[in-house]
Homo-oligomer: A and B are copies of this chain.
Amino acid sequence: MPRYKLTLEYDGGPFVGWQRQDNGLSVQGALEQAALRYTGETVTAHAAGRTDAGVHAYGQVAHIDLRRADPARKVREALNAHLRPHPVAVVEAEEVDDTFHARFSAVERSYVYRILNRRAPAVLEAGKVWWVPQPLDADAMHAAGQELVGQHDFTSFRAAECQANSPVKSIDELVVSRQGEHVEMFVRARSFLHHQVRNIIGTLSLVGLGRWSRDDVRRALEARNRAKAGPTAPPTGLYFRAVRYEDAATLTTPPAAESAP
């Protein structure tokens, strides 16, 4: 039974999040429904990261098993046809070995958080950024963010409902930079705690506004107390960017030659 690795882009706005829930449409549900319409099979989709309601993705990775053995290219086209009108698309599909697991084979995940930092509210990017009208010092945010790089107990940056066994995580890279009216944070780690990225950017925004120092961020981390760190930033600015897998696990067959870009 062929396994397909699917790279997904979605607008998190109308979804209750990745995970199937009773209270609304999930990305997982939309994908599984598209697979059902396409093949008549009831499948379970597994994702690298279970994004929250409102969180976007341009490089989420999921896998599904299909009894019907179609070329990966056809799977991508058919799923995209059946995913409409939901704002989720299969950007890439490839057939992988059944030892590949979108979640458990992942060795690194990365997120981008986008802030629109100007007086005028978001218009063309409404729902796709966090609008912060007060000026932010991106360099100060970057410097303070370096306190969080490395292995730490991230209890102060963890949602109460987080289900991870341990609050200890290792952030491999965290970069905050300004691009014109935008302040962007890029962050990568093997894995993240629930709300970790949004709590980090919410805390660093206090630094950007000049209310907190780099030392305040270090003290918040050391406190191991969620109440000591900054607010949870809104989901609208958060993008699941990419997943890295051990090369051996991802590919059993070379990607099909394609005429399309």
| B-side contacts of A23, CB under 8 Å | none
| B-side contacts of A10, CB under 8 Å | 123-124
Q: How far is the CA of A119 from the CA of B88 in the complex (A)?
A: 13
- Interface presence of A108 (CB below 8 A): no
Pick from A127-135, A143-151, A156-164 the stretch touching chain B: A127-135
Q: How far is the CA of A84 from the CA of B126 in the complex (A)?
A: 12
Task: Decide if the interface of chain A is mainly helix, strand, loop or mixed.
Answer: loop
When all copies of this chain in the complex are counted, the total is: 2
Q: How far is the CA of A146 from the CA of B58 in the complex (A)?
A: 35
One of B91, B123, B259 near A88 (C-beta < 8 A): B123
| B-side contacts of A56, CB under 8 Å | 124
One of B118, B123, B258, B260 near A261 (C-beta < 8 A): B118
| B-side contacts of A133, CB under 8 Å | 260
| B-side contacts of A122, CB under 8 Å | 89
- Interface presence of A184 (CB below 8 A): no
Q: Quick check: A119 and B260 within 8 Å, CB to CB?
A: yes
Q: Quick check: A124 and B58 within 8 Å, CB to CB?
A: yes
Q: How far is the CA of A83 from the CA of B260 in the complex (A)?
A: 42
| B-side contacts of A1, CB under 8 Å | none
Q: A11-B126, A126-B11, A126-B87 are in contact. Are A80 and B260 (CB under 8 A)?
A: no
Q: How far is the CA of A128 from the CA of B76 in the complex (A)?
A: 23
- Interface presence of A121 (CB below 8 A): yes
The closest CB in chain B to the CB of A178 belongs to B261
The closest CB in chain B to the CB of A56 belongs to B124
Q: What 6 new A-B contacts, CB under 8 Å, besides A9-B124, A77-B119, A90-B120?
A: A80-B121, A84-B121, A117-B261, A119-B261, A124-B128, A135-B259
